[in-house]
Amino acid sequence: MNDSYIFHYDLNEHMRPCDGTLRFSRDGRVSALLDGVVLFDHSLEGAEEAAVLAGVGCGLVYLKRGDGEELVLCRFSMSSLLPAGEFCKVVNYYIQTKTAVIPEQEDTRVCEKCGRTLIEGLAVCLFCYSRSSVLKRALELLRPFRRAITWAQTFVGVASVFYLLIPLLNRHLIDRYLEPMNGPWIHVVFIAGAMLLARCLSETIFILSSRAYNRASLGYANRLRTLSYDKLQRLSMSSLSKRTPGDLIRRVMEDTNTIKDFITDIGRWGVEQAGMFVIVLIILFFTNPWLTLLVVLPLPVVTIAMSRFWDFIHIRYERQWRRSSKCNSILHDIIKGIRTVKSFGNEDREIDKFAGETRKLAEVSSGNEKLWALLFPSMVFFTGIGEFLVLYFGGSAILDGGLSLGILVQFTMYIAYVYAPLRWLVSFPRWLADAMTSMVKVFEILDEEPDITGKEDPSDVPLTGGVRFDSVSFGYKSYEPVLKDISLDIKPGEMIGIVGKSGVGKTTLINLLMRLYDPNAGGVSISGTDLRDMSPEHLHENVGVVFQDTFLFAGTIYDNIIYAKPGAAPEEVIAACKAGGAHDFIMKMPDGYNTVIGENGHTISGGERQRLAIARAVIKNPPILILDEATSSLDVETEAAIQDSLQKLTKGRTTIAIAHRLSTLRAADRLIVLDKGKVAEIGTHMELLKMKGIYYDLVMAQRQTSKKSAAARQGD
């Protein structure tokens, strides 16, 4: 168990670089050290909050005390902003609960082995990670396909044997029957036929091998994609929000395909080439050891050059990967938001933006290709030196009578089998660097532990709808809390309205109830059971939600509705659509419920999309219903009609509604007013108006806005 939590800061009070340590100890004290010297040691008794003040290029950690004093604890550069926020979160939890919780801490800014700064988005150092373990793990995923691969590799071995027979037969033909011409022609035809048969058999067996390899290769790629996609589905929202959609799409699709190509295709050829290399060298050695020595003479040069080449080529391909990922992200955003782009007439701006990123990608890729274009011919040249040596010394030996023509021809034919693996090996660092980058990216996703996990033995008790927020504090960024010490009790069947200005934490409160995030402090429970003690599946089965930003899948209207309840009967779908006010406009469409809508429902209006989202939520008949601006995209008349339906739906179920149109929440049993991350007011509509507080000001402001809008319409 750790006794302290440490934050390393890098600026002193004069804003000069330094090596400082800010320490929170389990006994509730904060101390600072600079170059091993203790600067201060303060107790947290009487402290109200530890906070981060982020400036331009630097920031500071300070402590708020009850007497209004603010004590600066340390200063840091912006590279330490996130660790500073995590430090404040640990300290604030102690201030709120008087309980010291010291989480496991890892310094992820630099590599522990080499001290280099880690690349953003990667948890491993590209200089120090174990390539052998990564490669071994990729090979272990081939286990389900090992039988097919074994058979395919066996076929490759047999085909290679037939290939290798051809030079031996050719040597026998030249020495015995062509030079000198002392054999019957039938023997020549027989040997030539044997060579043709060997070639035909090798090609046929190779075809069988390719078919087996293709089946295994496709299965392997499918397994990688499935594992990656499955893990993405199980990662928490906080984990997913750290990466762009383009990055995630590339990892699931392109990186898995790169790994597949390397392991199954390049690996297959590697085994074949290595086997051919060893067998040919053995044959050549027993044929003529001295000429064999000339063949292998370039090997040390090529081996040393490749080892040096590997030291930096994988870093260059990592840079190319990141540029490509950025291009994918921009392309994804532009395509997804094409309506917004066109509505603002920003096509040229987006073209320039994408062109700029692709230009950077082209520069990085061009640099890599230039390097490769320089090194590859050099490597190939060195591997071919042995061939010239064999021709020179072998030809001299023939003229001197010490070597037969057939042996020299055999050597020249086998040299191709020796140098083909060498030339393949020259290209191997490039393939390996590209594949290793993809392996690290994919395995990083597979190894990431989700923040939101279910217990091994969950308490999936029946949920009646009672909700409790117990001293909940939360921030998407630990140094910027959104909710502070929220305590609420919502009774089963109660209709609760959540109101407040934008950014006060209304939607965040809903996210915690759906357990898209876990609170930094406190807990959320339903029917007396903490959300962390029940399985996520059980929670989501009992909660229906309509988000402010409605999302519909590409497909039919019917498919979108039953997404919340697969296998629902048509009668249930129709009833849900009637309750959500969607049935009438659906029936006016040519194909009714079988009408196909585009991605995110772009072929229907915003109000129609929201009504479908309401129907999708209510078809589950959940005990808890969440409406996050559920009627924000509807006109006043349609909203009034749907409000009648919603009032019927909310009877007998706990409902939590967020709405900017405060008039829609008049029927709520209670209204919760949030301000600055805290509960500011609680009461009914009339009670809050009489208080003339925050809610009163919001209502008056909306009324004034409505009057101005009405006057403007009359003026028109």
pLDDT of the residue at 108:
46
* Nearest-angstrom CA–CA distance, 523 and 532: 8
Q: What angle do CA 377, 297, 314 make, to 5 degrees?
A: 45
Rg (the chain; Cα; Å): 35
The reply to whether 249 and 361 lie within a common domain is yes
pLDDT of the residue at 408:
75
Q: Is residue 599 part of a domain?
A: yes
Output the six-digit token pair for 515. 């357990």
118 pLDDT band (50/70/90 cuts)?
low
Whether the pLDDT of residue 137 is over 90: the answer is: no
Q: Look at the block and give the residue holding tokens 């006794």.
A: 3
Q: Please return the burial class of 103, using the count of CB atoms within 10 Å of its CB with bins 0-12, 13-18 and 19+.
A: exposed
- Residues 95/44, Cβ–Cβ less than 8 Å: yes
666-672 contacts: CB < 8 A, separation 24 or more?
Answer: 667/495, 668/495, 668/496, 668/497, 669/494, 669/495, 669/496, 670/494, 670/495, 670/496, 670/497, 671/496, 671/497, 671/498, 671/499, 671/695, 672/488, 672/496, 672/497, 672/498, 672/499
Whether the pLDDT of residue 594 is over 60: the answer is: yes
pLDDT of the residue at 82:
80
- Residues 473/551, Cβ–Cβ less than 8 Å: no
pTM beyond 0.95:
no
User: Quick one: average pLDDT of 598-617?
Assistant: 78
Whether the pLDDT of residue 416 is over 90: the answer is: no
607-611 contacts: CB < 8 A, separation 24 or more?
Answer: 607/633, 607/634, 607/635, 607/638, 608/582, 609/550, 609/552, 609/633, 610/546, 610/550, 610/634, 611/577, 611/580, 611/581, 611/582, 611/585, 611/638, 611/642
| Integer angstrom CA distances of residue 2 from 22, 385, 560, 570 | 15, 62, 49, 58
Instruction: Give the residue among 299, 276, 280, 284 at the shortest CA–CA distance from 408.
Output: 284
- Residues 92/483, Cβ–Cβ less than 8 Å: no
- Residues 76/88, Cβ–Cβ less than 8 Å: no
Q: Is residue 305 part of a domain?
A: yes
**573 or 175, greater pLDDT:** 573
Output the six-digit token pair for 271. 């085994």
Q: What are the φ/ψ torsions at residue 325 (nearest 5 degrees)?
A: -65, -40
Whether the pLDDT of residue 623 is over 70: the answer is: yes
Q: Is residue 310 part of a domain?
A: yes
**Tens of pLDDT, residues 24-55:** 998 899 999 887 788 999 999 889 889 898 87
- Residues 585/603, Cβ–Cβ less than 8 Å: no
Q: What angle do CA 178, 199, 151 make, to 5 degrees?
A: 145
The reply to whether 442 and 483 lie within a common domain is no
Q: What are the φ/ψ torsions at residue 74 (nearest 5 degrees)?
A: -165, 170
Task: Give the domain CATH number at 278.
Answer: 1.20.1560.10
Instruction: Give the residue among 505, 489, 526, 496 at the shortest CA–CA distance from 656.
Output: 496
**Tens of pLDDT, residues 383-415:** 667 777 777 777 777 777 777 777 777 777 777
| Integer angstrom CA distances of residue 637 from 503, 586, 629, 631 | 28, 18, 16, 11
* Nearest-angstrom CA–CA distance, 58 and 78: 5
How distant is the alpha carbon of residue 323 from its chain centre? 16
Q: Is residue 203 part of a domain?
A: no
Q: Is residue 612 part of a domain?
A: yes
672 pLDDT band (50/70/90 cuts)?
very high
Task: Count CB neighbours of 403 within 10 A.
Answer: 19
- Residues 167/410, Cβ–Cβ less than 8 Å: yes
* Nearest-angstrom CA–CA distance, 106 and 232: 24
Q: Look at the block and give the residue holding tokens 């996990």.
A: 453
313 pLDDT band (50/70/90 cuts)?
low
- DSSP H helical ranges for 118-184: 131-140, 146-173
- Written as one letter, the residue type at 693 is G
- DSSP H helical ranges for 542-605: 557-561, 570-579, 583-587
User: Quick one: average pLDDT of 230-241?
Assistant: 79
User: Quick one: average pLDDT of 548-565?
Assistant: 84
The reply to whether 473 and 353 lie within a common domain is no
The reply to whether 484 and 335 lie within a common domain is no
Average pLDDT in the chain: 79
Task: Give the domain CATH number at 93.
Answer: 2.30.29.30
* Nearest-angstrom CA–CA distance, 571 and 53: 57
Q: Is residue 120 part of a domain?
A: no
User: Quick one: average pLDDT of 78-84?
Assistant: 82
How distant is the alpha carbon of residue 637 from its chain centre? 43
- Written as one letter, the residue type at 523 is G
DSSP string, 434-475: HHHHHHHHHHHHHHPPPSS---SS---PPP-S-EEEEEEEE-
- DSSP H helical ranges for 619-693: 636-650, 685-691
Q: Is residue 423 part of a domain?
A: yes
The reply to whether 324 and 436 lie within a common domain is yes
Whether the pLDDT of residue 584 is over 50: the answer is: yes
The reply to whether 32 and 93 lie within a common domain is yes
* Nearest-angstrom CA–CA distance, 544 and 563: 12
Output the six-digit token pair for 232. 């993405």
DSSP type of residue 698: H
Q: Is residue 131 part of a domain?
A: no
* Nearest-angstrom CA–CA distance, 353 and 643: 44
User: Quick one: average pLDDT of 267-295?
Assistant: 78
How distant is the alpha carbon of residue 424 from its chain centre? 32
The reply to whether 508 and 433 lie within a common domain is no
The total number of structural domains in the chain stands at 3
The reply to whether 472 and 443 lie within a common domain is no
The reply to whether 248 and 373 lie within a common domain is yes
Whether the pLDDT of residue 469 is over 90: the answer is: yes
Domain range enclosing 631 = 467-715
**393 or 262, greater pLDDT:** 262
**415 or 123, greater pLDDT:** 415
pLDDT of the residue at 682:
92
Task: Give the domain CATH number at 509.
Answer: 3.40.50.300
Instruction: Give the residue among 576, 568, 294 at the shortest CA–CA distance from 408.
Output: 294
The reply to whether 88 and 229 lie within a common domain is no
Whether the pLDDT of residue 361 is over 80: the answer is: yes
The reply to whether 432 and 525 lie within a common domain is no
- Residues 625/654, Cβ–Cβ less than 8 Å: yes
The reply to whether 415 and 482 lie within a common domain is no
* Nearest-angstrom CA–CA distance, 492 and 527: 8
- Could you list the beta-strand ranges (E) of 395-551: 467-474, 483-490, 495-499, 521-526, 529-530, 543-546
- Written as one letter, the residue type at 361 is L
